[in-house]
Copies of this chain bind each other. A is one copy, B any other.
Amino acid sequence: MLGPHVPELRALELLVLVSETGSLSAAAAELGITQQAASSRLRTMESLVGASLVDRSRRGSLLTPTGELLVQWSGAVLAAAAQMDAGIAALRADRRGHLTIAASLTIAEHLLPGWLVALRARQIHAGLTPTEVTMTATNSERVESLVRTGEVDLGFVEGPDAPADLHHRLVGTDTLVVVVGPKHPWVTKPSRRVSATTLAATPLVVREPGSGTRMVLDRALQDLGTVGPALELSSTAAVRAAVAAGAGPAAVGAHAIREDLALGRLVKINVAGLDLTRRLHAVWRGGVQPPYGAARDLVSWAADHPA
């Protein structure tokens, strides 16, 4: 829950613009509002935070140290918001004549928005008009089929290997982590370590077949003889909740549960000798190179900037 002293995004944006332009009226002009509106918005923000943020003078405005601090913090918030903006823009974009992408949920959530922001920034920096991108988020299996049928220009999938019949390029890897609820018996094991065979013999909370996470897990356990799942759910959030409630162990992407681990809602279990590496690939049809200029840029940026 957010306290009552946090300004809204638009107010933070204004403060950052004031810091960059050194003037209230210039910042207002950038936002397309009047100077008076900016002045008042800033005032309410100052009374909200409880400190003066801007030193107004007759020839411009300079931030106070507190203001600078807030600008830094706003930077992080607005960077995340910019990623969301890119994601929303991709969800909204008109589907014709633009670059269409399908991505697995993990990639759509955590990686793709950042890539889109970077692509856009680079295009603007190069004097181009930014490409409009349309994004579909679905599981890896369906992403591959969308690429095969040509419904999208470019796909991003996750799984143990690259798909065989599509051109691809590795754009990242991550590793699944095995977690249990805080009251699970494994929590008391020495160094919280269990063997791969123990894991394979335990009913797990898993994602639906066709998801990259599920494929990696099935592949890792296939030689150990699997037992049926305890529960099969179609979103990571549902898996997290089920595991926290004690439904059984699960293997999930590390970033999705960082906060749960810190708060003790979930506990990480070490599993010896099990390869839970998930490979993230860009995939496309046709030539060896990704199709368009923008798609090519996006793929090479992604490949060069692992998470």
Contact = CB atoms under 8 A, between A and B. Distances in A.
A2 B6 contact: no
Listed from nearest, the 8 A-B pairs whose CB atoms lie closest are: A73-B84, A72-B109, A76-B80, A77-B80, A8-B8, A50-B92, A3-B85, A5-B88
A99 B8 CA distance: 28
Interface string A37-68: 00000000000011100000000000001101
Given A1-B13, A72-B110, 13 more contacts: A2-B9, A2-B78, A2-B85, A6-B81, A6-B84, A6-B85, A49-B88, A51-B91, A51-B92, A69-B109, A76-B83, A80-B80, A121-B262
Given A76-B80, A263-B125, A88 B10 contact: no
Q: Is the interface of A mostly helix, strand, loop or mixed?
A: helix
Interface residues of A, number: 55
B50 A73 contact: no
A73 B9 contact: no
A6 B88 contact: yes
A113 B73 contact: yes
Q: How many copies does the complex hold?
A: 2
Contacts of A18: none
A70 interface: yes
- Scoring A1, A50, A83, A263 by chain B CB atoms within 10 A of each residue's CB, the highest score goes to A1
A83 to B, nearest CB: 7
A65 B211 CA distance: 14
Nearest to A78: B2
Nearest to A51: B91
Give the interface centre of A81, A137, A263 by most chain B CB atoms within 10 Å: A81
19 contacts: A2-B10, A3-B88, A5-B92, A6-B9, A6-B85, A8-B8, A9-B9, A66-B137, A68-B237, A69-B91, A69-B109, A70-B87, A70-B88, A76-B80, A76-B83, A77-B77, A77-B81, A79-B80, A121-B263
Given A2-B81, A68-B235, A69-B109, A118 B262 contact: yes
Contacts of A262: 118, 121
Contact of A30 (B1, B87, B122): B1
A228 interface: no
